[in-house]
Amino acid sequence: MGKLGDRIVARIRSGGAITFADYMEAALYDPEDGYYTTRASIGFDGDYVTSADLGPAFGKSLARGVSDLWSHMGRPAVWDLVEAGAGRGILMRDLLSALERERSDAVRGVRPAIVEVSPRMRGQQSLALEGRDLRWASVAHSLAPIKGVLFANEVLDAFPVHVLIRTPEGVREVFVGEQSGALVEVLRVPSQDLRWRVPESVPLGGRWETSPAAEGWVASLAGALVSGYVVFVDYGGEETDLLTRDGAGTIRGFAGHRLISDPLAEPGRHDLTASVDFTAIRRAAEGAGLRFAGSAMQREVLLALGIREATARPSTPIEQLRAASRRSAIDALLDPNGLGAFRVVCFAKDAPTESLRMFGATSATGSMR
C-alpha cells in the first residue's frame, strides 16, 4: 500500500477511524508522500490534462475575459492578476503573453501573482514563467489587499470532502477504518453538524459530498480581495444538477488518464477529486461579501470570448497542419461531454456585475483588438 498507506493504518489503529475528508487531505497533501506535494503529474504524459495543456487558445480566450473585467473596473493603472493553484504555470504564461500581444494598455500595470502550496508545483511554475516579475504566496491573504482579478482553474475539486449517506437510521458519515491492514469504509454519526447539508431528495442509501474546506477557502479569497473579480473554472454543477445522479457520489481517482476504482487504494499515488457543489460555493462567496456576477458552461464562455474567431487562411502545408492542430484543441475545449461542460462562475466585489463579455454580453468595452 506504500509508506503513506502504512502511516494512515497506524494512525487509525492508535486513534480510531478518520473521516474521508481527513483521509483525502492526507492522500493529497501529506508533506512527505501526498499526491500534490510529491507526485502530481499534469499533462499528456501525466495523470490528467487541464484546458491549458491543449495549447494557448484557452489562455488567449481567458485573457479576453480578464481584459474585459479590467475595463469594467475602470481600467486601473495598477492592478493584480492572481492565479490560485496554477499547476505547471502554463495558463498564467499564456494569459500574460496574450495580454502583451493584444492589450498593452492592460498589461502595462499588471502585477501577476500565484497562490500555491506545493513547493514542487512552484518549481514547475518558475520554469514556465522564467524571466517574469512574479510574486508567490501560500495563502491569498499574504497578497492582500488584492485589487484586480483572481482566478482558479480546477482547484475547488481538489479540496477534501466529507461523504454523507442517508440511511434508515438517519444521516451517517463515511469514515475510513482498517481491517487486516487494508483501508475500509465505516459509517459513523457525522463528525460535525453536517446533516443539514444533505438535500432532502437524496434517496435512501444515496451519497452526498460536502466540502467545508473549499467553502472556507472561497471566503478567505473574498477577504483578500478589496475590489475586482474572482473567477472559478471547474467541473461540477448546482445542487439540482448533482441530485440527478440519484446519490451515486462523485469521488474519483485518476492515474495515467485512467479512473481508479477504489479511492482508498494506494493513497498518495493518484489524484482524488469530487465534483464541485457550486450552490454551496455561491453561498460561501456571498456570505463572505462577494456578489454573484454570472455562471455558464466553459463551452459557452469560450465561444462568447471569440475562441472560434476566423484567422487568415494558412498558406503553407506546415501552417495548415498547425491550424488543424489548433482547431482540434479548440474542439476539445468546447466538447460538451468533456472540458466544455466545465462551469465558469464569476463573483465581484466593489465592481460591476452587468454586461460581462464572458457571459455573452456584446459590449465591446473589453474586447481585444
Q: Which three cell numbers stand for residue 13?
A: 489503529
192-207 pLDDT, tens per residue? Answer: 889 889 999 999 999 9
Task: Give the per-residue pLDDT at 169.
Answer: 93
Q: Which residues pair with 297 in a beta bridge?
A: 343
Domain ranges of the chain: 2-310+343-348
Residue 159's H or E segment, with its range, is none
- Decide: helix, strand or coil at residue 292: strand
Reply yes or no on domain 2-310+343-348 having CATH 3.40.50.12710. Answer: yes
* Ranges assigned E (strand) in 53-137: 79-84, 110-115, 135-137
Q: DSSP letter string over 232-268? A: EEESEE-HHHHHTTTT----EEEETTEEES-TTSSTT
Per-residue model confidence (pLDDT) at position 196: 87
pLDDT at 316: 76
Low-confidence ranges of the chain (pLDDT < 70): 1, 40-48, 256-257, 310-314, 319-325, 361-369
Residue 128 has what pLDDT?
94
Residues 306 and 358: their CA atoms lie apart, in Å, by 9
Amino acid at 188: R
Cα 204 from chain centre: 30
Cα–Cα distance, 185 to 22 (Å, whole number):
13
3-state secondary structure 29-69: HCCCCCHHHHHCCECCCCCECCHHHHCCHHHHHHHHHHHHH
Torsion sign over Cα 246, 247, 250, 253: negative
